[in-house]
Amino acid sequence: MSAPARPLRLEGLVKRFGDHAVLEGVSLAVPEGEIVALLGPSGSGKTTLLRLVAGFERADAGRILLGEERIDELPPERRGFGMVFQHYALFPHRSVAGNVAFGLETRGLARAAIAARVEAALARVELGGLGGRRISEISGGQQQRVALARALAPEPPVLLLDEPLSNLDPSLRERTRRELAALLRALGITTLLVTHEQEEAFELGTRVALLHGGRLVQVGTPGEIYRAPATRFAAGFVGRASFVPVEVVAAGDGPVRVRGAGLPGGETEAEAAEALAVGERADAMLRPEALELAEPGTPRTLAGEVVAARFGGAWSWATVRAAGGLEVEVLVPGPPPALGAAVAVARRPDARPRVYRRETP
């Protein structure tokens, strides 16, 4: 008979530092074996949330449960979670194997059992045979894997990762991210990780939990959050997006119709992220891939001038400024047009804008 599943559940977590609320009623369920990435800007509360789960901070309200057991009142060592810190916190005076063995030694395991677990943990992260090396003798990517092996050696029910790739150079970071994503999926261990990098969240997380101002804004797969962001903040934070002022001219239970002088293609059907009324002012979100460049003077396009461009190889990005200062970003094949070029921006026929209520100052 298999053991009952032990999902991680956060219920109504509140954390204040003085008069400042860092977390305000955060609830999140992480099924056993799932990888959830906590994504958000600096100050959104994601690291504080991870520290609450780890036991390094105590919540002012709410509960943390593992399966049916309430664990928020337990000290960190009794929760039994594995954790990889942002700067790894490896011991320079210990060997690779000695670092991995540290947590096992504190649990009082027999020497033979410790050696067997260390060997297995190093093999998991493809560092077999490197146990005798000093920390200063291995690369940054290998150090990251040593920290991961140390967290995995005690066979924890939950793995916590705090910006685990932040101190790697860009090329090593990308390669290590791929390796870590494959490893986490192969292990099948319940994982909660913190990052402010969208690419990391999307590659490592089976689901993404987006935080802003201490609140959970949206939880979903990377595709769900990119294609259908729940709020204007989510739309602007995840991916690249342009916002065009529009007016709602028809509304009902389904899509709405909007129009605006700066909307490429003119009046159109749009997805409403929230209930909108006829006559209400709103912002239509357009991803760069929803737009394309056309010859100046093409009907139903937005005329403008290229004011910024970024070469990206097979695809590039061009920022076009129209009358009134409105700017939109367009994904273009090959190299971008020259700065100052007069262009027209068209909306792809299958691209439906997503509309949000206009934010007022």
Q: How confident is the model at residue 3 (pLDDT cuts 50, 70, 90)?
A: low
pLDDT at 9 over 60: yes
- Domain finish residue from 174, 207, 232: 232
- Cβ contact 245:358 at 8 Å: yes
Q: Judge if 36 and 153 occupy the same domain.
A: yes
pLDDT of residue 361: 54
Lowest mean pLDDT of 157-161, 295-299, 325-329, 356-360, name the range. 356-360
Side-chain-facing half-sphere of 148: CA atoms under 13 Å: 27
Q: Judge if 51 and 182 occupy the same domain.
A: yes
Query: Does 301 map to a domain?
Result: yes
% the chain with pLDDT above 90: 64
Q: Judge if 292 and 190 occupy the same domain.
A: no
Mean local confidence (pLDDT), 273-277: 92
Query: Does 28 map to a domain?
Result: yes
Nearest alpha carbon to residue 164 among 68, 35, 310: 35
* Alpha-carbon separation of residue 109 from 115, 144, 355 (angstroms): 10, 25, 58
pLDDT of residue 272: 94
Task: For residue 170, give the H/E element and its range.
Answer: helix 170-187
Q: Judge if 61 and 141 occupy the same domain.
A: yes
pLDDT of residue 1: 41
Query: Does 1 map to a domain?
Result: no
Q: Judge if 180 and 294 occupy the same domain.
A: no
Radius of gyration of the chain (CA): 25
Query: Does 2 map to a domain?
Result: no
Q: Across the chain, what does the average pLDDT equal?
A: 91
Query: Does 3 map to a domain?
Result: no
- Cα separation of 111 and 119, whole Å? 12
Residues with Cβ within 8 Å of 109's Cβ and at least 6 positions away in sequence, in order, are 117
Q: Judge if 278 and 148 occupy the same domain.
A: no
Q: CATH number for the domain including 249?
A: 2.40.50.140
Q: How confident is the model at residue 188 (pLDDT cuts 50, 70, 90)?
A: confident
Q: CATH number for the domain including 189?
A: 3.40.50.300
Q: How confident is the model at residue 232 (pLDDT cuts 50, 70, 90)?
A: very high
The DSSP line for 322-353 is EGGG-EEEEEEESSPPPTT-EEEEEE-TT---
Write out pLDDT tens, residues 18-46: 989 999 999 999 999 999 999 999 999 99
Query: Does 36 map to a domain?
Result: yes
Write out pLDDT tens, residues 118-173: 998 888 888 888 888 998 888 887 888 888 888 888 888 999 999 887 767 777 77
> Which residues span the domain enclosing 77?
8-232
Query: Does 78 map to a domain?
Result: yes
pLDDT at 2 over 50: no
Q: Judge if 246 and 207 occupy the same domain.
A: no
Domain count, the chain: 2
Q: How confident is the model at residue 326 (pLDDT cuts 50, 70, 90)?
A: very high
Lowest mean pLDDT of 159-173, 186-200, 201-215, 240-254, name the range. 159-173
- Domain finish residue from 213, 232, 251: 232
Q: Judge if 151 and 261 occupy the same domain.
A: no
Q: Judge if 124 and 82 occupy the same domain.
A: yes
Write out pLDDT tens, residues 68-77: 999 999 999 8
- Domain finish residue from 232, 263, 284: 232
- Cβ contact 356:274 at 8 Å: yes
Q: Judge if 192 and 58 occupy the same domain.
A: yes
